Structure 1
């Protein structure tokens, strides 16, 4: 096996098993290092045991490279191949209708892979487009993008779109909803983006009346296109309870202001809960079925959201990522 491909294959299986992003990033970083070396140097260092002298290659990644060079299936990979993958629903006709994903992250914020690697994985997943929605500056723990860094990212997207056409990377952001409902980024800059996903990441246990007011203020902002993971719940491990808010008011506002409700497909979120998803359907909301992927191997998680959408009778024609990129951006730029 080619050493760089072996490293990326390990990273893919780590992602599928929900391992921490930093661990995935280590294998992808090592693959990038190998890509920059001549094959003879890789072989020589593997034989001499000097791979770890290279910045970006540690003991585990060096072991994978050495196994690959010596013609063995890497032991690290065997370990994850022996573990059964979590079953991802195929998503049926709903999954077949999707043309893209409105919520993904790269290593510009808290994702584990470069933008291009995420885009190529989305293309291989069968997408026509993918929206890059890295975090906004207030979320420092996730290396949120300042206005300056976001502007630089837009220049990078222009270059990548020229390279990957006709596939498109849509410019976007997952912008924090501040405590008062304002958005955590310059509005002039938000207006330049193709997709704005607005999410609550702080003070998730604030009183329901205050949370409702906070969410309504954000939804009424004409720059917001998608309301991200609305309850903020986590359903694995120790979990995290749902935020309290008046769902009827919030979903009615989404209809009035033409904001899509996200069906977040991350296995630890599966947000909103089915009772609220059914309420959003009854209210007349549009939807965006998204992975919230932080690594390429997580782009296949759409099946989780599609399964829930089918169970809750979400109409296909109300799912915005069944649209082509031109239709989506024409809709999102209407204020």
Structure 2
């Protein structure tokens, strides 16, 4: 994974709008601002380049639904062959490294086992997530939209997941050897440790990330049984954000769940399930001492973005810094493996 080089003039209007959206997402700015620029991209993609230029010359670009003052300014300057001022400011303020340290690990991380699209609670279509991952130098990703009981996040029923699988296969086929798009899910771990999707559908996926999203304050003993049961399921490959904690951000803070981490991680090691190092700054999950425990026990790890927007894909830099600082060997991080090795591990035989 690499950082994107700053854009220089001349730039296409869509390219300029996409990069502004990316930088706004990357710096965790307000979602309404991001939506304005992402929406403008959608508007312009349906228009002929000549029509966009004519509207700029006529001063009618803002008559298009979804084009406001800020987005129009970016479009107008790009059409004139200039680097838009708004884009230049965002690149200056938010284009630098996300974190100091972990650069070698970030460069070695070529995949992602946990990210979302607008099929559940993500903000962008699948193809935009893929395009951004390619631009960042990734080689593969596993799309892991939510499972059905997480209704607030638009979780996918078996029927919708089946429809998504057809789309993923078509997109992956169109990419040739340039990139590999794999099928997956972030499946909810239910109260009894069962998984929130049919076994038949889970068997059709390349990889399954399993996470607890409900009853995070469950007592220690039943929470431990719940998590051990989930990671013992042969369909599960990655244990997502295991403590459920929130340490910062717009949603406030939340304490970590109480469970016997040694028992859970020993089950992960026994069943070849990777412990996720969730890279989102508001999660930073698991905490350092639990990463150290999982490392001691012999677990594999997955440094994942948990991205809900294209600009968040680069957040793996935070997880890379932690993995390097805590001494996690690169070969025990499944997101450094190539796609063939990842698939062979996730679905042996």
TM-score of the aligned structures, taking structure 1 as reference length: 0.92
1:4 matches 2:14: yes
What residue is the counterpart of 1:32 in the other structure? 42
Q: Is the 8 A contact 2:140 2:181 kept in 1?
A: yes
Unaligned residue ranges in structure 1 (runs of 5+): none
1:135 matches 2:149: no
Render the CA deviation track for 1:23-52: whole Å, top value 9, x for unaligned.
434422321220211223223334555444
What residue is the counterpart of 2:6 in the other structure? none
2:116 equivalent among 93, 105, 110:
105
After superposition, the Cα gap between the structure-2 partners of 1:164 and 1:218, relative to the gap in structure 1 and judged at 3 Å, is same
After superposition, the Cα gap between the structure-2 partners of 1:189 and 1:58, relative to the gap in structure 1 and judged at 3 Å, is farther
Render the CA deviation track for 1:143-170: whole Å, top value 9, x for unaligned.
2212111111111111111111211101
Distance across 1 between alignment mates of 2:215 and 2:86: 39
Distance across 2 between alignment mates of 1:269 and 1:110: 17
- SS of residue in 2 equivalent to 1:174: strand
Q: Is the 8 A contact 1:21 1:111 kept in 2?
A: no
* Within-5 A mapping of 1:290-329: 290-329=304-343
TM-score of the aligned structures, taking structure 2 as reference length: 0.89
2:295 equivalent among 267, 270, 281:
281
Distance across 2 between alignment mates of 1:180 and 1:23: 41
What residue is the counterpart of 1:66 in the other structure? 76
After superposition, the Cα gap between the structure-2 partners of 1:26 and 1:186, relative to the gap in structure 1 and judged at 3 Å, is farther
Distance across 2 between alignment mates of 1:174 and 1:224: 10
Q: Is the 8 A contact 1:225 1:332 kept in 2?
A: yes
Distance across 2 between alignment mates of 1:76 and 1:205: 44
Distance across 2 between alignment mates of 1:23 and 1:37: 22
Render the CA deviation track for 1:124-181: whole Å, top value 9, x for unaligned.
2222211111111222222221211111111111111111121110111111111222
What residue is the counterpart of 2:242 in the other structure? 230
* Within-5 A mapping of 1:167-206: 167-206=179-218
What residue is the counterpart of 1:152 in the other structure? 163
Moved over 6 A (4+): none
Q: How many residues align?
A: 335
